[in-house]
Structure 1
Amino acid sequence: MADLSWQDLLRCYDHVEFSGDREGVLSIANTEILNTVLSIDAEESTLAGDFNFYPTSDISGAAIGDKIAVHVGAPKLSVGILAQNLDGLLSAPKGFIEFPPRFYVIDGRLSDRDTSAPQLRSYRAVVSLIKLVADAATFLDREEQKLFFFKDGKVEVPVRYSEANLKFVETTAIERLVKQFEDPLHRAQKLALLGDAIATLVRPQSEPVRFERILLNVDHLASSLDDSYRLFVSSFSYDKIRTDVENASLDFLTRIHKTFVDVQGQLLGIPIATIVVASQMKTATTCGVEAWTNIAVLAGAWIFIVFLCASIVNQFFTLSAISSEIQRQRNRLEGDFAAVSAKFVATFDSLANRICWYRVVFIVIAVVGLVGAVLATFAYRSLTAVKMAGCIW
């Protein structure tokens, strides 16, 4: 099978004099066109069926410069779209909501290769508008090409427009409206505002003209959205953000400080349970009261240290949870208010530094407690000469 593409078919369309429904005369202007029609004629059952384009007479002796009669029908949709005019192109499947990747319009000889044609620029702009409006709508039925909004009831907007409508499309207004959604900040809220504005605009109109109403009022929608968004943003002023951050910072500071307060009472027990208890030990050379007193004092010191370390480990877990919450709040601020988030970075850095400092303090406390317990153990071993295992057995 010949390796022909849509571009080969476009070259043929450009040199066809369309004389009627599915009929035309092709001028073989160059080698590419000649090779294309010869390939189609040679594989009529395949290429001719897909392209729906083939010579209607014998072309075995055709040469460059000849004119031949051809059948020109609509190719398979997977190949491309052939339309008589722009309205025919819009009527293609999903033609109102998607700009077709491959097409040829007989009137004006427009194709997907053209980028400067005013009609196609307007068509592309309307498709970009539809994509935005679809995001603002509750639902887009792509098969029926119909938008649905729900505001005080259901509002249906069939997406229908014509070549005549495209002549009056204000592409600059569409670009202005689309540009308002380039910044991801509050995009969901802006889409909700746009959806409400569209539903309010088209509700009084009959369904067939609702989308035309949108096209005629794009500039109004852009201005309305801008005003509504300014009103919305006023509730997220810098002062309010600063107040919220300061309140959250105060709450985090309180929770961080509480982790130290929870073990503060036990700190006073470190010298008592480790160093002071060593002074209560007595020299023991026999299995008597002195020996049992020494081992009881040492056991008490180590029990205290074990509970102290367990409490410190628990506070480490609490600080980790607080640190995760602080990071989540920071990420949310940077995501929702990126424009001003840099002004509050120092607050979150200060909280992170304080958590780090508290962790160091807890480690020092644990080390001091363990050192005291080790000193108490050393005192016990120095004062207790008797083997306690022999006293038990």
Structure 2
Amino acid sequence: MDAKSIRQLFPILDQEVNGNPLVYLDSSATSQKPLSVIQALNDYYKFDNSNVHRGVHTLGTRATDKYEGAREKVRRFINAKSEKQVIFTRGTTTAINTVAHSYGRSNLSEGDEIVITPMEHHSNIIPWQQVAKVTGATLKYIPLQADGTISLDDVRETITDKTKMVAMMHVSNVLGTINPVKEVAAIAHEQGAVMLVDGAQGVPHMKVDVQDLDCDFYAFSAHKMCGPTGIGVLYGKRELLEAMEPVEFGGEMIDFVHLYESTWKELPWKFEGGTPIIAGAIGLGAAIDFLTEIGLDEIEEHESKLVEYALKQLRTIDGIDIYGPEKRAGLITFNLDSVHPHDTATVLDAEGIAVRAGHHCAQPLMKWLDVTATARASFYLYNTEEDVDRLVAGLNKTKEYFGDVF
């Protein structure tokens, strides 16, 4: 199925913004939702709305079957060994914080090292800053190459026998850099460290096999992969999850509660305190069905061709700075000389073109780039070359509008 046909499956894209057909180029922030996902959410609330795991009535059984069925879909989607390794969270941020607070605070101490990169999203920096403060561990950064990639030689030099945790994004939400997380995991394991991968920008755009990557933890969000907001996934190796303590306590996650002590349910439920995100899980399951039917290989190939075309067309614009490596995922971060990215995004919005402007929750990377902010166009399976052409035309109009600065 081509991108134009796929676009028809997304109701929100069939509208005008400021008198122009919508061009949505902000999927790295959140993707749009196909009708099948919207319908799955509607059907749950319309026909099956009930709490899960507790009731024996028909609605409760149907809701539980769909909720746990979504977990199995996730397991197959990332090729986890067991559905017990799939924990539903509120999103990537919560998943990373769960590992930081539960595993990090219990297993790190003074003299240990936590290794990350300067390109990380704030959600994969701040939790480790906090762990370092509490435990006395040292936070270290793998240096970036000039094009925004990392060198495995630098990885080997940075990760030492004192390193206990390595945390790295699969794909940069600013540079589009695709990190060699499999190779980094192997280096981490050689030194006795564990590896967490922030897969928020990875899972939506390429096949992910957690067993092949051999990462210890992998985190991602539904809303960036055609699913609903408010739900994500933490995958973990079973022996690590078994040894970790929950970080939220209450209903659903308990086995027995006594007056002065309690015991926990088995995996994955010990990490899912309270009424779970039932509709969100069902919506995520529907999104996985949708992406699987389209094909992750096809999506990755489409984005690769589209970003190649976009780079070529954007480079025809005088005074544009493009950040990141040549080989990248489906996003392009840029600035027009002397035009603030918020002004660029405002003019583009007037043309019906949605891009992101700001620091993209990556302020250390902005400092490394020596900018305060950038504009970002991010592509997905529903974008076309015509969308790129509209973007280029909009940027040329931006230059005309701010012509006195060129």
TM category, shorter: under 0.3
* Bigger strand share: 2
* Bigger helix share: 1
Structure showing greater relative contact order (alpha-carbon pairs closer than 8 Å, 6 or more residues apart): 2
Q: What TM-score does the superposition give when structure 1 sets the normalisation length?
A: 0.19
